[in-house]
């Protein structure tokens, strides 16, 4: 599970390359992941997460602590203590 967003659960999807001759070969669509450090004010420590661009927007909107609680409840984030 290398290319998976730890917040949203986005992972690699598959599809087709389509040539001008309409030949189809399989390809992969990778999520737009970034390795980011976030500061947790409640515990006073830094956490490094691999998150997608959509997850960054969600964190900016809701706040890191709420997003981490939701991801833990969904079972996507187990290594972060809150």
Q: What is the pLDDT of residue 54?
A: 96
Query: What is the spatial distance between Cα 56 and Cα 53, in angstroms, rounded to a whole number?
Result: 5
pTM: 0.84
Q: Is residue 2 domain-resident?
A: no
In the chain (82 residues long), the average pLDDT of successive 10-residue segments reads 89 97 98 96 93 96 95 86 71
DSSP output for 20-63: TT--EEEEEE---EEEEEEEETTTTEEEEEEEEHHHHHHHHHH-
What is the predicted pLDDT for the residue at 77?
86
Considering its fold, how many domains does the chain have in total? 1
**What pLDDT sits at residue 71?**
93
pLDDT at 23: 98
- The CATH number of whichever domain residue 29 belongs to comes to 2.30.170.40
What was the pLDDT predicted at 1? 55
Q: What is the pLDDT of residue 79?
A: 78
Residue 62, domain member (yes or no): yes
Q: Could you tell me the residue range of the domain that residue 36 belongs to?
A: 13-74
């Amino acid at each position: 599970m290398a290319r998976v967003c730890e917040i949203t659960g986005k992972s690699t999807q598959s599809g087709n390359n389509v040539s001008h001759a309409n030949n189809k070969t399989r390809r992969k669509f990778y999520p737009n992941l970034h390795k980011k450090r976030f500061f947790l004010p409640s515990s006073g420590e830094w956490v490094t997460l691999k998150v997608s661009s959509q997850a960054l927007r969600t964190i900016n909107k809701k706040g890191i602590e709420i997003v981490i609680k939701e991801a833990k409840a969904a079972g996507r984030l187990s290594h972060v203590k809150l």
